[in-house]
Amino acid sequence: MPMVGKMLMVAGLMIVLVGLALTFFDKIPFLGKLPGDISIKKENIQVYIPITTSILLSVLLSVILWLVSYFKGR
């Protein structure tokens, strides 16, 4: 049962971090405006596909999680 408690605390922390990131998303100047991000604006519709931003965030999170697992295993 203690493992479930730890997992819930980590999940809660991750939700808080995502919430903070979404709150301050406008303050990050380059995020969402990278070359390769697709933005289509028509009369009544706007479509935004952040391909490059998604790849960059994926690589960044992968490196962070790899570092955490590397140092945790030592």
For 20-71, what is each residue's pLDDT tens digit?
A: 877 877 666 766 778 888 989 999 999 988 899 899 889 988 998 888 888 8
Q: What is the pLDDT of residue 28?
A: 67
Q: What is the pLDDT of residue 34?
A: 83
How many CA atoms does the CB half-sphere of 49 hold within 13 Å? Answer: 4
> How far is C-alpha 68 from the geometric centre of its chain's CA atoms?
16
Q: Which residues contact 34 (CB under 8 A, 6 or more apart)?
A: 50, 52, 53, 56
Which tokens in the block code for residue 53?
């931003």
Q: What is the pLDDT of residue 73?
A: 75
Which tokens in the block code for residue 26?
């406008």
